[in-house]
Amino acid sequence: MGKLALMGGPKAVTLDRRIPPVSEEAIATVVELMRKGETSTSPSVGEFEREFADYVGCEYGLALTSGTAALHTALFAAGVGPGDEVIVPSYTFVATATTVPTLGGITVFADVDRDTMNLDPADIERKITERTRAIVVCHVWGNPADMEPIMELARPRGIAVIEDCAHAHGATWQGKKVGSVGDVGCFSCQGSKLVAAGEGGVLTTNDRDMYERAIVLGRPEKRAEIREESWTKRFAFTGVGFKYRPHPLGIVIAREQLRHLDEMNEIRDRNGAALDAGLADVADVVPQRVLPGCRRVYAYHYMRYDPDKLGGISIETFLRALAAEGVGTGRIRYGYLHGNPLFTEGFPYGTERTALSALGQEMPEFANGPLPMTEHLREYSFRAAPRLETECRELINQYLDAYHKVASAADELLTYEKEHDGEAP
């Protein structure tokens, strides 16, 4: 298939992907708000909250400053406090787990399924104790997790299920939008997300009590929505001290993107599915498995590398060869959290074990692993392509040529690897 670019041959990928800019409609709305002086508060935020909740299929939506703020708020709304255990994946962005100790909770890591890359319900069950207060399920890379067995584990035990939907705007599980399946959903609107505000987040729920607790934590200017009979009412004036009110200029950008989300997801998903289908005969790369009855969204396009199918060539050499061909590829630092000092040592209030000792409790022996599938994905998952947000069949074909070119060159790559042993990727 031609000489590898790594060895001096021509690149397979010569086209650039096109990134859609902020729409002219969104820019005009931002300018309008600036001219009206609505740069701190605006009715547009409440309108976006209602539209987002309707889109997800929830009664309530609460816009916040970030996806991290949404996770923190959800944990607070679920009643997580000192000594409570919260089960989370380690194969995720840090905020899925780091928000737990801010409330005095104990982060308990569960393993993931190798093929879906999402939490493994069987390992969740092994990690549940009488102190488990919540499970945070991440729909990683836009792929819905196996929610039915997770809900079956949680419901009879009174455990809250929090969906981390940071990658999954518009993804569905059994016909329901993610963010409406568990007790509360958390979405990021950071600049790289499918509904982007630059920075921002949204919490969704059908639980009125949770919604009111969320208001008290970081949006106390919405205290008029808290029912008179609610126990949170007496805290409504002060809130709990956080200011998670989002910036309206960012929110109106996100609002415009929400209006076009389904249309854009169709393009992204069509491109992602075409790439997956075209790589079906490339044995060394394995796409994420999507569960029956689910629709993933291609917010990010990650796969798993199988070195045994390419003669034992390391993933570093494989990715180096793809990058030389012009493929937008790379690694992600997911799967490292369970070994991080924040969870093994504790910060900033002393070790978790010391804190638990004061409560008369012991650290669960399994809190930080082992997590063999997580550690496997940490080593072998990789970004297969950037987000493809425009009609770009020619670019997809060039990507397919690049993957096939590299996969057919095992002997050359083995020689290269021996000659460059020890080089940084």
Measured torsion, CA atoms of residues 213, 217, 223, 226, in degrees rounded to the nearest 10? 0
CATH of the domain at 274: 3.90.1150.10
What is the per-residue pLDDT for 420?
82
Shared domain for 288 and 199, answered yes or no, is no
What value does the mean pLDDT take over residues 75-82?
96
Shared domain for 166 and 212, answered yes or no, is yes
Tell me if 323 sits within 8 A of 403, measured CB to CB: no
Q: Could you give the number of structural domains in the chain?
A: 2
Shared domain for 58 and 44, answered yes or no, is yes
The dihedral built from the CA positions of residue 26, 32, 37 and 43, taken in this order, carries a sign that is negative
Instruction: Beginning with the edge strand found earlier in the chain, give each strand of the sheet holding 301-305 in spatial order.
Output: 285-287, 301-305, 381-385
Helix, strand, or coil (residue 102): helix
Shared domain for 100 and 80, answered yes or no, is yes
Nearest to 245 by CA among 52, 70, 47, 33: 70
Q: Of the residues 203, 238, 259, which one is the last residue of a structural domain? A: 259
In a domain, residue 101? The reply is yes
The dihedral built from the CA positions of residue 50, 79, 84 and 72, taken in this order, carries a sign that is positive
| Percentage with pLDDT > 90 across the chain | 85
Measured torsion, CA atoms of residues 208, 213, 217, 222, in degrees rounded to the nearest 10? 40
Q: Long-range contacts of range 349-353, CB-CB < 8 Å, 24 or more positions apart?
A: 352/101, 352/106
Rounded CA separation 402/408 (Å) = 10
How does pLDDT run across 226-275, given as a tens digit for each residue? 999 999 999 988 889 899 999 999 999 999 999 999 999 999 999 999 99
Rounded CA separation 385/389 (Å) = 12
Shared domain for 212 and 68, answered yes or no, is yes
Whether the predicted pLDDT of 367 surpasses 80: no
H-type alpha helices, 78-172? 95-98, 121-127, 147-154
In a domain, residue 339? The reply is no
What is the per-residue pLDDT for 424?
46
In a domain, residue 364? The reply is no
Across 79-104, b (16+ Cβ under 10 Å) vs e yields ebeebbbbbbbbbbbebbbbbbbebe
Q: Of the residues 199, 231, 259, which one is the last residue of a structural domain? A: 259
pTM, two decimals, is 0.94
Whether the predicted pLDDT of 373 surpasses 50: yes
What is the per-residue pLDDT for 344?
84
What is the per-residue pLDDT for 17?
84
Nearest to 137 by CA among 125, 148, 145: 145
CA distances from 212 to 21, 163, 318, 353, 387 (A): 36, 18, 50, 32, 36
What value does the mean pLDDT take over residues 116-134?
97
Whether the predicted pLDDT of 357 surpasses 70: no
What is the per-residue pLDDT for 325?
97
Whether the predicted pLDDT of 80 surpasses 80: yes
In a domain, residue 351? The reply is no
In a domain, residue 49? The reply is yes
Shared domain for 198 and 271, answered yes or no, is no
In a domain, residue 211? The reply is yes
Residue 188: strand pairing partners:
201
Rounded CA separation 174/425 (Å) = 41
DSSP code, position 174 = T
Shared domain for 279 and 251, answered yes or no, is no
Helix, strand, or coil (residue 385): strand
Shared domain for 32 and 151, answered yes or no, is yes
CA distances from 88 to 24, 109, 190, 335, 344 (A): 40, 5, 21, 11, 15
C-beta neighbour count of 384 within 10 angstroms: 25
Shared domain for 98 and 131, answered yes or no, is yes
CATH of the domain at 126: 3.40.640.10
Shared domain for 13 and 86, answered yes or no, is no
Instruction: Give the mean pLDDT of the chain.
Output: 93
How does pLDDT run across 287-340, given as a tens digit for each residue? 999 999 999 999 999 999 999 999 999 999 999 999 999 999 999 989 999 999
Rounded CA separation 283/308 (Å) = 9
Contacts of 37 (CB under 8 A, 6+ apart): none
Q: 398 or 1: whose pLDDT is higher?
A: 398
What is the per-residue pLDDT for 302?
98
Could you tell me the residue range of the domain that residue 316 belongs to?
5-18+261-332+377-419
Q: Of the residues 235, 259, 283, which one is the last residue of a structural domain? A: 259
Whether the predicted pLDDT of 353 surpasses 60: no
In a domain, residue 51? The reply is yes
Name the least confident of 45-54, 89-98, 216-225, 363-372: 363-372
The dihedral built from the CA positions of residue 85, 374, 147 and 188, taken in this order, carries a sign that is positive
In a domain, residue 338? The reply is no
Name the least confident of 175-184, 188-197, 223-232, 366-375: 366-375
What is the per-residue pLDDT for 92?
98
Shared domain for 87 and 52, answered yes or no, is yes
Shared domain for 61 and 176, answered yes or no, is yes
